[in-house]
């Protein structure tokens, strides 16, 4: 063989080893996420659904739980996708020729983006509908009972749902873009149909983030206040402990003497309320034993950090709005090749990249808090060891929709300059200036409105509580005033 042939073989062998290394790294990363998600779902699932007398139902629930674990792992991977890419770029910039980080390259990052996109499509369009229909199925009438009969019914339902969604997307594409080429492109299921459908789902996820994130940013202050110990000026733990003990004693008296009340009592509900009050009292005891440093320093610092992060996020988005009006390069766009380690995606270098990562995680946590705080999705909130299987499926779907839209959400708001890789950058609406501009303006306006409303209400409530005005017999607005006849009686 000639030298050129040996060179071609060596290049092919090197590419083969790189692909194998990337597959091993991707598998290890996904296995780690899968184990973490499995542990989390195990603590939220309802044990009675997995230890039933009917082994068939228990088997179906176990299979559905594994599918939910896979979907939740994909959602967690979508959350970590953009921060991992930003950090990898800064590491390659700082250590360009380090031997121990040669595995970290643009090909690996690009492959991770493609895998997350693929698994997100797979989970949203096939796995989660399959899990839901599988748990609700009973098998066709006249067929043999068992798991296999449920599988047949689920597959048929899933095929009918796929045809329905395919027809709806085809009609929507024909209405939005009345072009023969665009309609014919939908016949190519893999190359055009799935990315188009995922583009619609991602757009809905971005709109959901637009609503939930401002609400979550405002709720983060109250949620953090419940987790931390407030200064004595803002919180009276002795009074809360006294009220909790009084309520617990009253409920215990009802349980011990059920005949003293002429109304029928729900004993299971009373026992559950007593357990809740006991848990609340234990937490209050721990908070009362907190040190002065935790009480007087931890709470103000946490509130200050939340205020700084929220203000910084709003400021960055406001600056991005001005950049959209001036520079066309501020528009979000896709990037086919991941050219990492060449230039920093932040004007502040590594420090700016760390701020970007912190803001991305902060906005994701805020969006989840806002999602579960909204009246529409409050019923989906998981409960410790008391979450039904269908509720777990709904939570996994919603979290995947939110997390898979996070890279597009962050790039649209200008939180990072890292361009979208793979099929994430193929969404048609990303190139529309009016949509991007109105989205940024709406985010800034909604966040400012929620923060102003929350802070004014919170400051007013804390001042009333601090000065003891809440104990005064003042008339409460929202309740009808008693009539004169009632007052004389």
- pLDDT at residue 36 above 90? yes
Determine phi and psi for 477, rounding to 5 degrees: -70, 145
At 485, is the pLDDT very low, low, confident or very high (cuts 50, 70, 90)?
A: very low
What's the mean pLDDT in 108-130?
Answer: 86
- pLDDT at residue 443 above 80? yes
- At 476 the pLDDT is 41
| Percentage of the residues of the chain whose pLDDT score is greater than 70 | 72
Using a cut of 0.75, tell me whether the model's pTM lies above it: yes
At 478, is the pLDDT very low, low, confident or very high (cuts 50, 70, 90)?
A: very low
Determine phi and psi for 420, rounding to 5 degrees: -70, 135
Of these ranges, 18-27, 233-242, 250-259, the one predicted with the greatest mean pLDDT is: 18-27
Q: Assign residue 318 a region: left if phi > 0, alpha if psi is -120 to 50, beta otherwise?
A: alpha
Of these ranges, 63-72, 262-271, 340-349, the one predicted with the greatest mean pLDDT is: 63-72
More confident residue, 241 or 19: 19
236 assigned to some structural domain: no
* Domain with 195 in it: 3-212+320-453
- At 35 the pLDDT is 93
- pLDDT at residue 439 above 70? yes
Lowest mean per-residue pLDDT among 64-73, 211-220, 238-247 = 238-247
Cβ count within 10 A of residue 425:
19
CA–CA distance, 222 with 426 (Å, rounded to integer): 39
CA–CA distance, 195 with 191 (Å, rounded to integer): 7
- At 32 the pLDDT is 93
466 assigned to some structural domain: no
- At 389 the pLDDT is 87
CA–CA distance, 248 with 279 (Å, rounded to integer): 11
DSSP assigned state of 388: -
362 assigned to some structural domain: yes
Cβ count within 10 A of residue 234:
13
Of these ranges, 166-175, 220-229, 357-366, the one predicted with the greatest mean pLDDT is: 357-366
CA–CA distance, 427 with 414 (Å, rounded to integer): 17
71 assigned to some structural domain: yes
Of these ranges, 1-15, 90-104, 292-306, the one predicted with the greatest mean pLDDT is: 90-104
Number of folded domains in the chain? 1
CA–CA distance, 323 with 436 (Å, rounded to integer): 12
- pLDDT at residue 73 above 90? yes
98 assigned to some structural domain: yes
DSSP assigned state of 100: G
- At 461 the pLDDT is 66
401 assigned to some structural domain: yes
271 assigned to some structural domain: no
- pLDDT at residue 430 above 80? no
- pLDDT at residue 486 above 50? no
What's the mean pLDDT in 256-278?
Answer: 66
More confident residue, 392 or 147: 392
- At 477 the pLDDT is 41
- At 361 the pLDDT is 92
Lowest mean per-residue pLDDT among 114-128, 146-160, 171-185, 323-337 = 171-185
CA–CA distance, 163 with 184 (Å, rounded to integer): 16
Lowest mean per-residue pLDDT among 25-29, 311-315, 450-454 = 450-454
Q: What would the two tokens of residue 405 be?
A: 């839209």
Average pLDDT across the chain, whole number: 77
* pLDDT per residue as tens digits for the range 367-426: 999 899 888 888 888 888 788 888 899 999 999 999 988 888 888 888 888 777 777 766
79 assigned to some structural domain: yes
What's the mean pLDDT in 424-445?
Answer: 81
């Amino acid at each position: 063989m000639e030298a050129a042939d040996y060179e071609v073989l060596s290049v092919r062998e090197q590419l083969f080893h790189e692909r194998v290394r990337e597959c091993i790294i991707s598998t290890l990363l996904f296995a780690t996420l899968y184990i973490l998600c499995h542990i989390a779902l195990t603590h939220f699932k309802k044990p009675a659904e997995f230890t039933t007398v009917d082994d068939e139902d228990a088997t179906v629930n176990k299979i559905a739980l594994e599918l939910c674990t896979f979907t939740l792992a994909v959602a967690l991977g979508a959350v970590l996708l953009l921060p991992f890419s930003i950090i990898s770029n800064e590491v390659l910039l700082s250590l360009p020729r380090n031997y121990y980080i040669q595995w970290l390259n643009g090909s690996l990052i690009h492959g991770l983006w493609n895998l997350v996109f693929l698994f997100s499509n797979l989970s949203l369009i096939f796995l989660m509908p399959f899990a839901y229909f599988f748990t609700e199925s009973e098998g066709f009438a006249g067929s043999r009972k068992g798991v296999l009969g449920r599988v047949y019914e689920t597959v048929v339902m899933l095929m009918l749902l796929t045809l329905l969604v395919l027809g709806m997307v085809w009609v929507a594409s024909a209405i939005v873009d009345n072009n023969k080429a665009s309609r014919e492109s939908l016949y190519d299921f893999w190359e055009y149909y799935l990315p188009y459908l995922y583009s619609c789902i991602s757009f809905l996820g971005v709109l959901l983030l637009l609503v939930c994130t401002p609400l979550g940013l405002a709720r983060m202050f109250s949620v953090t206040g419940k987790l931390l110990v407030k200064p004595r000026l803002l919180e009276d733990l002795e009074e809360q402990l006294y009220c909790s003990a009084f309520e617990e004693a009253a409920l215990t008296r009802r349980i011990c003497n059920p005949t003293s009340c002429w109304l029928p009592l729900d004993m299971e509900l009373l026992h559950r309320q007593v357990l809740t009050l006991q848990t609340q009292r234990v937490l209050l005891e721990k908070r009362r034993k907190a040190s002065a440093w935790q009480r007087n320093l931890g709470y103000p610092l946490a509130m200050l950090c939340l205020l700084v992060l929220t203000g910084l996020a709003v400021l960055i988005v406001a600056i991005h709005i001005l950049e959209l009006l001036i520079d066309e390069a501020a528009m979000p766009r896709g990037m086919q090749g991941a050219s990492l380690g060449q230039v920093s995606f932040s004007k502040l270098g590594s420090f700016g990249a760390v701020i970007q990562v912190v803001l991305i995680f902060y906005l994701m946590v805020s969006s989840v808090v806002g999602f579960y705080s909204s009246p529409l999705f409050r019923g989906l909130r998981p409960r410790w060891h008391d979450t039904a299987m269908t509720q777990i499926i709904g939570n996994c779907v919603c979290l995947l929709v939110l997390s898979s839209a996070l890279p597009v959400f962050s790039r649209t708001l200008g939180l990072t300059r890292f361009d979208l890789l793979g099929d994430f950058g193929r969404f048609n609406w990303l190139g529309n200036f009016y949509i991007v501009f109105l989205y940024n303006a709406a985010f800034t306006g909604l966040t400012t409105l929620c923060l102003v409303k929350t802070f004014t209400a919170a400051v007013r409530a804390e001042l009333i509580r601090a000065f003891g005005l809440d104990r005064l017999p003042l008339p409460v607005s929202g309740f009808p005033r008693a009539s004169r006849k009632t007052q004389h009686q």
